[in-house]
Every structure is written in structure tokens, then in C-alpha cells.
Amino acid sequence: MAMYYSETPSISVIITRLPTDNDLTALDAFSSFYFMMSYKFLRREDAVVRYGKDTEPKYLGLRDKTTVCNAAFDNCDQRPCYVQSPNFPGMYPRNTTCYYPAEAKTRHHLVRRAILALSQADGHLVHIKSQAQPHDTAERHLKLYGDCYYVGDYVRVYDGNSTTSPVLVTFCRGDVVPEIVSSGPRTPH
């Protein structure tokens, strides 16, 4: 059984039966084909894995409503910020690129330069798999840079406010993400 999550108020299911080379079944022979689906709509306050508890909500950034997943982060020095892929804890949508700019704003006159530090100590929360191998059961370990290009899905962190800024790290697969520190107050992804 597979479980999928969606953040929309409705879902569409398309079922396609692809014929094989030796498929001699006629259209009227579909009586042996069946599909079963159960679904449940959760209220936002019940989706604690995604949004946190009512008493302690997760800050998921300021969402860009014109995109599937872009969100901007600020004030993460004053509250925990949670960068989550769209539909977390469900499947990441295909052919989707998400941008999560983060900015540290200096509010104190003694602070000359703010920097950002990103990390994820809970390795089980990071698992970036290949779409070609969605049921990959290989031992989980973080892969870096060139080892990620064959996977297809990866996370890239830039040291600045655009994708032309220097790359701090590219990682994929899953495990503890070491601390990634920017040289300045901005990092977009």
C-alpha cells in the first residue's frame, strides 16, 4: 500500500493501463481489473507532522502563492524555521524546483555581519531518492556533489541571493546534514 499527501482541497487520479507486447485482451476483458482507493481529508490542526501543534506551530516561511513550493524565510534567529518539500511527508511532485531564500536581518547596531547556518541533525528526516528507483532500499548515507547527478533529485545551497552565487554544497540521498554556513546574510536555497 502506498500513501500520498496533498495540500490541495481535491485530488485527481488518472489510471492508465499500458498494453504489453503480447497483450491480446480486448477492452471488454477489463472485468478482471479493479482499483481500490481510500482517502481522508485532514484539518490543518490535525496535520501535526507538516504544520506542528496548535500550541507550537512550525514556521514554514512566507509562501509564494504563484508557485507550488517557493517560500522565503526570515527571523530564523528568533524562531525555528522548517524547510519542507511540498507535500511533506508525502511524495515530492515530479519536475518541480523549489526555492527557499533565507535572509538574516541585522537589527542590532553592534552586529556588523550576519551569517546563516543550516543543518539537520536528524538524518531520518532527509531522504532524497532517485525517481528511477523509488523503492531503493540501499543503506542510507549522504552523497555530495557529483555523486548526486545520477540521482536526479538533490538539494543545492548557494552562498548568496541568486543561483549564480557560489555553491556551498549539493547533497542527495539521506543522513545527517552537516552544518552549512554562509559567508553573509543571504542564501536562497
Instruction: Quick: pLDDT tens for 11-54.
Output: 777 777 766 665 555 555 555 666 777 777 778 888 888 888 98
Q: Name the residue among 1, 83, 93, 90 with its Cα closest to residue 42.
A: 90
Domain-embedded: residue 69: no
pTM tops 0.85: no
Half-sphere exposure of 104 (CA within 13 A, CB side): 22
Domain-embedded: residue 185: yes
Domain-embedded: residue 146: yes
Query: pLDDT at residue 146 above 90?
Result: no
Domain-embedded: residue 50: no
Cβ neighbors of 185 (< 8 A, separation 6 or more) are: 103, 104, 105, 106, 113, 114, 115, 116
Domain-embedded: residue 63: no
Which residue segment(s) compose the domain that 122 sits in?
Answer: 101-189
Query: pLDDT at residue 110 above 50?
Result: no
Q: How many structural domains are present in the chain? A: 1
Cell of 160: 548568496
Of all residues in the chain, what percent carry a pLDDT higher than 90? 3
Confidence at 62, pLDDT banded by 50, 70, 90: very high
Query: pLDDT at residue 113 above 70?
Result: no
Rank 44-53, 63-72, 146-155 by mean pLDDT and report only the highest. Answer: 63-72
